[in-house]
Amino acid sequence: MSLKRTPLAPVAAAFGAGIAISALAMPEVLLVAWLVAVAACLVLLAAGRLEAAAVALLLGVVATGGLRGAVVPLPPGHVGNLGLPRTLRVEGRLAAEPRRWAPDRARLLVDTERVEDLPGTGLIQVTTYGVLPPLTEGQRVAAPLRLHPATGFRNPGTYDVAAHLAREGIHVVATTRAESVEPLDDPGPPWSVRVKRASVAAIGSALPSASAALLAGLLLGDRTELPRDIDDAFRRAGVYHVLAVSGFNVGILAASVWALCRLLRLPHRPSAVTAIVVVVAFALVVGPEPSVLRAVVMAVLVLVASLLDRDASVTNSLALAALAILAVRPSDLFDPGFQLSFAATFGIVVAPLPRGVVVGAVGVSVAAQLAVLPITLTHFNQLSTIGVVANLGVVPLAGVATIVGLVAVGLSFLSEGIAAVAFDAVWPVLLALRAVVLLAARVPGAVVHLPAPGWLAVTSYVAGLALLLGWHGSRGNSRRVFLPSGIALVVLAVGCAAWPLVRPADGLLRLTVLDVGQGDAIVVEMPDGRAILVDTGSGGPMRLDAGERVVAPFLWNRGILRLAGIAVTHDDSDHAGGAAAIRRLFSIDEEWTAAVPMEPHRFGRAVIAPLPSMAAVAGRRNDAALVLRVDMGLASFLLASDIGALRERELVAVGARLDSTVLKVAHHGSRSSTGVELLHAVGPRLAAISVGARNSYGHPDAGVMGRLAAAGAQIYRTDRDGALIFETDGGTLTVTRWAARRVDRFCLDPEAIC
């Protein structure tokens, strides 16, 4: 890759590097660095030292990126500064179309104009419950909103929803009843929304539901109605990229418009202008996703080059697209969609692809997969083993479906009868596409879940691939250096990435109370390296699946691919809802429930055992829950599930061994649990409460908090502290509050010096 052909590549890389380090330096320091770099560049230019001036210029670009990526404090009138949580009447304009994921569930993005009777600003993501009135993008609405700071689940190795929302400019979330949302005007949908609605309606009326949802995903990136099994199949087959509007779709559209114009004997300049207009209009219809913007900018640059009778450098166009997007939305640098789109395109552009249709297609697929591998592992813990092969069948079918589908949708604006013929033609292609995807998804081991690689693994991998590319294009002595160095770095990357899977057990008992909102999920890592999961968080229809979204990524990133056991204490959805996902994603040696007798199990120096199950409470689901005790040396943990006062009294009455260092407080701190008798029997030094930050039950109860304080227990809560990580060697105990990265240390042996 020649810098003469791609002068913007180092500039884009420098700007991105500046954004990446923006959190590490004060804006004042970056500003001084920018001034120094500019002054140095001017001095070096005057001295005729062009290469040194270029280096100084790039350093200035790094500082510029840092300044652009710096976090800006919320303005005084921002709704996030109103002392949340609070319920307030908010007026604002819908910044996007309402997104429904169930008949009575929808999400609105409100650009605030007034709060109560005062001016206000800020984007609010609003979840509505019930059936909304007809609403559209740009419409003014008002509603009483229960406002909260935007926070997600805070756990090691899981997706940071709050950071994602912040990148979108959303610092406040809210809930409300749908019937309380009041339209304040009726401006009518913008033309782009009308086009998208009409397109989706035409597709839905012409095709069966599953095929219609698939075509809407291919053409418009609208996967709202895509059945879960088809969505999962595309993910498992490693071909989900065809459902995300990107260069694939934009390239087909631009090429089709260009070909049609040339077929109509239009000169090449009017053809290029027409293609530019259509491509930009397409972007406005489907939305400003990073992959769409990247593809549109590159397509427009290629078409503009055609207008000017110039050859466009693809790599330079890619760099300019990155610069344009990051200059406007610097936080996109950390967005998985941005990273995947640019990495895949860059990999295809720079890779030495073989000639020939079949081997060339394989080369393109391999290059894209290698380029995005660290990104997919980092964000999704996924390695596709079938994707390279599956793409050979899926991409051509998706290309045909896209072309015919675009024709059908275009014709639907002219004549439903003629469009029906085109929709009939695309239907068999969609069926064939689904068949190929389902076949690939059923291959054993089609997707392997692995830990996210660390910075050393990613750096070594990228450097290794760069050296191997350099070896391919080099001559002489450098070839003898590049090849072994590149192989060594790739091997180092694989070793670093695989370390969590093969590292020896550290001999500690580690118990992590995960932040899953209003629910329970506790991972117990035994001193011999085996792991047990106690409850799985929430799940079920219209609920976030904590098993899939929170518990599984945490386990993968801890290097846990197999569970020695899973204990579902009772069937409430906030404890058992994620169990189906865990069973699907992990190998499990044993499963325990309150209904299935469980014997004590020893794992090295640690023992996990159930407490007696009371026949007298068998008809009460919470009181019949499985209660577990974990011991190692002087440390002990009592996991009380959701039991209430009746079960607590009976456990005390039968003389169950209750004394424990740490009490996982029952029923999220409900007032009907954690009575004085139980606390006297347990004598906890520490108490952990798994509770949702925005729960509607009033948990934890003030009376429970008072009783815990009177018992002398230091209290930890997942709604404030995020995940709670307890680690012990049997003599000392440390507690990590993940949200604040704060570690407390306790000595369990009063006669020892810790």
Q: Does position 607 have pLDDT exceeding 50, yes or no?
A: yes
- Look-up of token digits 């290029």: 272
Average pLDDT of the chain to the nearest whole number:
91
DSSP string, 693-711: TT-SS-PSPHHHHHHHHHT
pLDDT digits (tens, 9 = 90+) for 622-656: 898 999 999 999 999 999 999 999 999 999 999 99
- What pLDDT, on a 0 to 100 scale, did the predictor assign at position 87? 93
Nearest Cα to 629, choosing from 706, 682, 560?
682
- What pLDDT, on a 0 to 100 scale, did the predictor assign at position 746? 96
Domain positions in the chain: 8-69, 79-189, 193-449, 455-502, 509-747
The answer as to CATH 3.90.25 being correct for domain 79-189 is: no
Q: Does position 615 have pLDDT exceeding 70, yes or no?
A: no
Q: Is the torsion defined by CA of 571, 576, 582, 587 positive or negative?
A: negative
pLDDT digits (tens, 9 = 90+) for 490-504: 999 999 999 999 999
- What pLDDT, on a 0 to 100 scale, did the predictor assign at position 104? 84
Report which DSSP code applies to 550: I
Helix (H) / strand (E) element for 356: namely: none
- Look-up of token digits 């159930």: 610
Q: Does position 619 have pLDDT exceeding 70, yes or no?
A: no
DSSP string, 439-500: HHHTSTTSEEE-PPP-HHHHHHHHHHHHHHHHHHH--THHHHHHHHHHHHHHHHHHHHHHHH
pLDDT digits (tens, 9 = 90+) for 433-456: 999 999 999 999 999 999 999 999
The contacts found for 459-466 with CB under 8 angstroms, 24 or more apart, are 460/489, 460/490, 460/492, 460/493, 460/496, 461/373, 461/374, 461/489, 461/490, 461/493, 461/497, 462/374, 463/489, 464/488, 464/489, 464/490, 464/492, 464/493, 465/370, 465/490
- What pLDDT, on a 0 to 100 scale, did the predictor assign at position 71? 85
User: With left for phi above 0 and alpha for psi between -120 and 50, is residue 712 left, alpha or beta?
Assistant: left
pLDDT digits (tens, 9 = 90+) for 468-524: 988 876 666 677 788 899 999 999 999 999 999 999 999 999 999 999 999 999 999
- What pLDDT, on a 0 to 100 scale, did the predictor assign at position 476? 66
**pLDDT band at residue 260 using 50, 70 and 90 as cut-offs:** confident
- What pLDDT, on a 0 to 100 scale, did the predictor assign at position 616? 45
Torsion of CA 739, 743, 747, 753, to 10 degrees: 180
Which CATH class name applies to 509-747? Answer: alpha beta
* 210 vs 356 pLDDT, higher one: 210
Can you tell me whether residue 127 is helix, strand or coil?
strand
- Look-up of token digits 């109560």: 116
Counted residue by residue, the chain has a size of 754
- What pLDDT, on a 0 to 100 scale, did the predictor assign at position 4? 64
* 206 vs 2 pLDDT, higher one: 206
| 563 alpha-carbon distance from chain centroid | 24
- Look-up of token digits 């098993």: 547
Q: Which backbone phi and psi does 417 adopt, to 5 degrees?
A: -65, -45
- What pLDDT, on a 0 to 100 scale, did the predictor assign at position 351? 87
User: With left for phi above 0 and alpha for psi between -120 and 50, is residue 238 left, alpha or beta?
Assistant: left
Segment among 142-156, 182-196, 248-262, 669-683 with least mean pLDDT: 248-262
Nearest Cα to 737, choosing from 717, 721, 714?
721
Across 154-181, average pLDDT: 92
Q: Does position 5 have pLDDT exceeding 70, yes or no?
A: no
- What pLDDT, on a 0 to 100 scale, did the predictor assign at position 256? 84
Amino acid at site 646: L
